Amino acid sequence: MLFTAVMNKKRIYSYRFLIVSVLGIWLFSTLDTNQTAFSEKVKIALRDVGNKLLLSEKDSTSLILPVREISAAKYELSFQSHLTFEPNAMVSIIEDSFVRAELPKEYLVEVLQCADEEVAYSYEIRKQEENTLIPCRGRYLPKNCYRVQVRFTSKNKGVFTVSTILYGLVLLIFIWLEFFFFRNKKVNETPQETQEHFATIGSFHFYPTQNKLVKQATEINLSKKECELLQIFAANLNQVVTRDELTKKVWEDNGVIVGRSLDTYISKLRKKLKEDERIKLTNVHGVGYKLELVD
């Protein structure tokens, strides 16, 4: 019965762990899928920006190089040839492309010179218009090799969708409930489980799985051999157990032959049981030993 109960508990823990794992994997795969979709939208929008920048300077032949994803929120647009453009036009083109692609409305744009990585022009768009920073409008940048980097500064709604956030909250609530429920259940079950796994010998509670005796609030630790001997005596209370039976079960079954070891451990057990005067561990001369409980 005990073995079955333990196995059932292990099975329940395994199922719950599996559920949490599946939910976690599903959530992170959803985040990864959303990030991939967001990244693709940004790259398409930036290629549209590059095309319009070239066309604004009547350049329909220069190539736009592949858009690079520098990080989850930062992307880079570059060109095959040198170009020049008016910042105000670039601001309008980027804003128009991002709005149509439904990208986040807060971002920082930096135009870097290819040769020295110096920032030739930059600006920042924020939701509150009064906080938006767009300097130097109307001044053309000299023709040069430029790379345009865009970093989204607000939370990426393309990744953290409402459904993803809700599913994430469900997962966190489930994990919290599991922790709270099992912690309380463990605390509540501990006294009951302790009571179910001891044998009563006089005023002692004997816990064979924990190698100890308990008398009121006092714990007496037992060695492995002492515990094995006491288990045999407790199962044969007030009956003689032969020396041969004791040595065979405790030592010889483990491939060990003993001489006076049995007597030594019997003596140690007597000392640990002496707190209860009703318990007698007596020697039956020439036969063995007997654990007696005297009324």
* 145 lies in the same domain as 74: yes
71-123 tens-digit pLDDT: 888 999 999 999 888 888 889 999 999 999 999 989 999 999 999 999 998 99
Report the distance separating Cα 110 and Cα 148, nearest Å: 6
* 140 lies in the same domain as 275: no
192-218 tens-digit pLDDT: 444 457 888 888 888 888 888 888 778
More confident residue, 9 or 281: 281
Number of domain units in the chain: 2
Residue 39 belongs to some domain of the structure: yes
Report the distance separating Cα 15 and Cα 286, nearest Å: 57
Q: Residue 278 sits in which domain range? A: 199-293
Residue 123 belongs to some domain of the structure: yes
Residue 142 belongs to some domain of the structure: yes
* 148 lies in the same domain as 9: yes
Q: Quick check: 248 pLDDT over 90?
A: no
Nearest residue to 212 via CA among 181, 202, 199: 199
pLDDT band at 32 (very low <50, low <70, confident <90, very high): low
Residue 221 belongs to some domain of the structure: yes
Nearest residue to 229 via CA among 215, 249, 213: 249
Looking at 91, 121, 152, the residue that finishes a domain is 152
* 30 lies in the same domain as 135: yes
More confident residue, 31 or 204: 204
Q: CB-based burial of residue 178 (10 Å sphere; 0-12 exposed, 13-18 middle, 19+ buried)?
A: middle
Helices and strands, counts by H and E, the chain: 6, 12
Mean pLDDT value of segment 225-233: 90
pLDDT band at 35 (very low <50, low <70, confident <90, very high): confident
Q: Quick check: 191 pLDDT over 50?
A: no
Looking at 121, 136, 152, the residue that finishes a domain is 152
DSSP state of 81: S
* 115 lies in the same domain as 226: no
CATH number, residue 271: 1.10.10.10
* 238 lies in the same domain as 145: no
* 22 lies in the same domain as 112: yes
More confident residue, 146 or 3: 146
Residue 158 belongs to some domain of the structure: no
Residue 192 pLDDT? 45
Q: Quick check: 3 pLDDT over 50?
A: no
* 269 lies in the same domain as 133: no
Residue 170 belongs to some domain of the structure: no
Residue 181 belongs to some domain of the structure: no
Residue 250 pLDDT? 84
Residue 114 pLDDT? 93
* 145 lies in the same domain as 207: no
Mean pLDDT value of segment 255-262: 65
Residue 185 belongs to some domain of the structure: no
Residue 150 pLDDT? 96
* 117 lies in the same domain as 218: no
Amino acid at 294: V
Amino acid at 92: S
Residue 1 pLDDT? 39
DSSP state of 18: H
Q: Quick check: 146 pLDDT over 90?
A: yes
- pLDDT above 90 covers a percentage of the chain that reads 26
Residue 194 pLDDT? 43
Nearest residue to 272 via CA among 254, 291, 286: 291
